[in-house]
Structure 1
């Protein structure tokens, strides 16, 4: 996680224990090397995905990354998540891959989007994400010099690159992204979490306003660190991105159709001259 964010109230039972376990696995059992090339990420991912399709492995990877960040209502759920992570058959490969993704995310970069384009989509359904320099330029033009807490929204966010570019200008913005592709929504959600940003990601159709699910992203102070977490919801009324129906105003009732009022006498006017 990078930097600091606005302090919010601590959730009933945060997933800090799960995150601490992941960190301990990373630092205790894995020899980290200077892996900064996206090609190395692809190699690590292929090693993690061995024995199953790349698409299935990528979808599973997103869910495993999100597991420690979820807000749990009680300690039993939290412990169950911790046991699930411990019991992963490739926990070492998973921890190594998550570590590398975290390293490559420094500076609000998008390694998940790059991995997705190279290993999964191959341009499927036109899913080539906007290059980072273009996102930076568009954010500079549209966002300008925002104040803390100002909202930035992307109605077709993909992996969240435009939101990350906005965060480069001011990381204390409220970032909102929506996308029709659930995989893209999860990538955008992870990018917000890895950078301790705040806002919301919605799985919805921005054109038809059909809402499927949403994820609120916040941070809480744990042992002096701003730990990010997310809350999943399905009620569209809880979303800041879903367009709420406009209340219809009552129409006045008339006893009879409107008829123009005639003047009692003809009006005779004289047009004046301008000059």
Structure 2
């Protein structure tokens, strides 16, 4: 069940109204996530393609504000309101709660309290601490991005990298990183085989976060950067003596798409079986 401290009943009730009109719960949730991503990227064509699936005569007979497209928008607003109050993984909590009525969901994410402990064990410093180098926080099985959000509240200036082979989870993480206004790369693909099927970049700004889907060439550049950084990190760890510190060997490796250079990696991968 969803985290008990997070009130998501209003959002679930809004999505349930759409579900009751003959759409599966999983389809409703998946389309809602896609609509939010497309809206934030100003991608009208794929947005309207999804909306068309909910424009049968019976649906359009509902008064303005009660059509399915209006309910999707209402749920988006409710999500933003709850995120603003809590800075927590409301989206993942909705997934867990709403998915209880469907066998198509089937995932429960790491509790927020456990994520907090994991971030502390991984060495994510508080934003008040003085560090010379930018941290990189990596979660190779990110689920809805909950661990990245917890780390982001502790160190919002870090670079975050999340990966999950489930396309819905990857999209949820991209939305969450955007909502929390984090610099992040979110990858859809298997972290064990280092396969990338797609990726999103979220960027910080004083006006709020932004998100965009990377094109094929940019995904390949990101793949090369991640692979190179990982191989050099492993090589550095194998060659380092116990008293040589925690340098990851990433100082001179610039990420693609113009983000600044990370030099300290706080990996959350030791807990990857939790999602």
Name the TM tier (shorter chain): 0.5 to 0.7
Q: Is the 8 A contact 1:117 1:123 kept in 2?
A: no
Task: Give a deviation string over 1:35-63, Cα, whole Å, max 9, x none.
Answer: x7212221111113332001111110011
Q: Is the 8 A contact 1:215 1:233 kept in 2?
A: no
Please, what is the CA RMSD of the aligned residues? Answer: 3.1
- 1:193–1:217 contact (8 Å) kept in structure 2: yes
- Match of residue 93 from structure 2: 114
Encode CA deviations 1:217-267: one digit per residue, 9 max, x unaligned: 11456xxx24413232334432167414979xxxxxxxxxxxxxxxxxxxx
Query: Alpha carbons of 1:79 and 1:149: their partners in 2 closer, same or farther (altered >3 Å)?
Result: same
TM-score calculated relative to the size of structure 1: 0.64
Cα distance change of structure 1 residues 199 and 168 upon mapping to structure 2, 3 Å threshold? same
Partners of 2:143 and 2:164 within 8 A in 1: yes
For residue 15 of structure 1, what is the aligned residue in structure 2? Answer: none
What's 2:29 paired with?
Answer: 58
Under a length normalisation based on structure 2, what TM-score does the superposition of the two structures give?
0.64
Higher helix share: 2
Higher alpha-carbon Rg = 1
Describe the SS at the equivalent of 1:211.
coil
The structural deviation recorded for 1:133 is 0.6
Question: Does the 8 A contact of 2:202 with 2:209 survive in 1?
Answer: no
Displacement of 1:79: 6.5
1:122-142 Cα distance to aligned partner (Å, 9 max, x none): 687862200001101111221
User: Unaligned regions of 5+ residues in structure 2, if any?
Assistant: 1-5, 56-67, 233-275
Matching of residue 233 in structure 1 with residue 211 in structure 2: no
What's the CA shift string for 1:154-212, capped at 9, x where partnerless?
00000001100101102111111000111100010110111111110001111111111
Q: 1:47 to 1:198 in 2, by over 3 A?
A: same
1:115 deviation in Å? 1.7
Rounded Cα–Cα distance in structure 1 between residues aligned with 2:213 and 2:144: 19
- Pick from 45, 49, 54 the counterpart of residue 15 of structure 2: 45
Is residue 72 of structure 2 the alignment partner of residue 94 of structure 1?
yes
Provide structure 1 residue ranges, at least 5 long, that are not aligned to the other structure: 1-35, 73-77, 248-275
2-structure distance, mates of 1:42, 1:60: 14
SS for the counterpart of 2:142 is coil
